Amino acid sequence: MPEGRDPSDNDANAMKMITAIIRPWKLDDLQMAVARLGVQGITVTEVTGYGRQRGHSEHYKGSEYQVEFVPKLRVEIVLDEASAEAVVEAISNVCRTGKTGDGKIFLAPVGEAVRIRTRESGAAAA
């Protein structure tokens, strides 16, 4: 990374990471919605967790377990700051059912991005 460079120095290179925790079956809808907005890269992980939506109970012979965690997907998209808001809104709309457990979206600034194949950096690499 070039010396003394600060992401906020150059607005055109400012990037954000969108992290969305969503219901697993909403992935296809989300992918189509963000693709329509021009998003070209996405990373998906299977996660487990809870917010206000708690789990369920399971029983195996004599043992009963209260399973707190609920399976979700974590979707990460790194893109230029200017496009972020529209993508967040699209994700939010397409993933909403109105019931507890719809999920959350977090935004964080990204300091740098590099495309491995071409060695590009900055927003062009996001």
Partner 1 sequence: MHQDNKRTKGSSLMRGLGAALLMMLPALVFAQDAPPPPNKGDVSWLMTSTVLVILMTIPGLALFYGGMVRNKNVLSLLMQVMIVFCVGVLLFAVFGYSVAFSEGSNAFFGGFGKVFLKGMTGDSLTGTFSKATNIPELGFFCFQATFAAITPALIVGAFAERIKFSALLVFILIWLAFAYYPIAHMVWFWSGPDAYTTAEAGAAANVNAGFLFNKGALDFAGGTVVHINAGIAGLVGCLLIGKRLGYGQTALPPHNLPMVMIGSALLWVGWFGFNVGSNLEANGFATLVFTNTLLATAAATLAWMFGEWIVKGSPTMLGAASGAVAGLVAITPACGWVGPMGSIAIGVLAALICLWAVSGLKKMLGYDDSLDVFGVHCIGGIVGALLTGVFNSPALGGTDVYDYVANAFPNPADYSIATHVISQAWGVGVTLLWSGIVSLVAFKVIDLTIGLRVTEEQEREGLDTVSHGERAYNG
* Binds partner 1 by CB under 8 A, chosen from 59, 99, 117, 119: 59
Nearer to partner 1, 62 or 98 (CB): 62
The span from the CA of 23 to the CA of 46, in Å, is 10
Ramachandran bin of 124, using left for φ above 0, alpha for ψ from -120 to 50, beta for the remaining angles: alpha
CA neighbor of 52 nearest in space, from 19, 88, 106, 99: 99
Q: Indicate which single residue of 12, 35, 47, 67 sits in contact with partner 1 (rule: CB under 8 A).
A: 67
Any residues with CB less than 8 A from the CB of 10 and at least 6 apart, and which?
122
* 48 scored as a contact of partner 1 (CB under 8 A): no
Number of residues that bind partner 1 (CB under 8 A): 9
Least Å distance, CB 62 to partner 1, is 4
Of 3, 64, 99, 100, the one binding partner 1 by CB under 8 A: 64
Shortest distance in whole angstroms from residue 52 CB to partner 1: 22
**Sheet (strand 15-22) strand order:** 43-49, 70-80, 15-22, 103-110
Does position 58 interact with partner 1 (CB under 8 A)? The reply is: yes
The residues that touch partner 1, with contacts defined as CB under 8 A, are: 58-65, 67
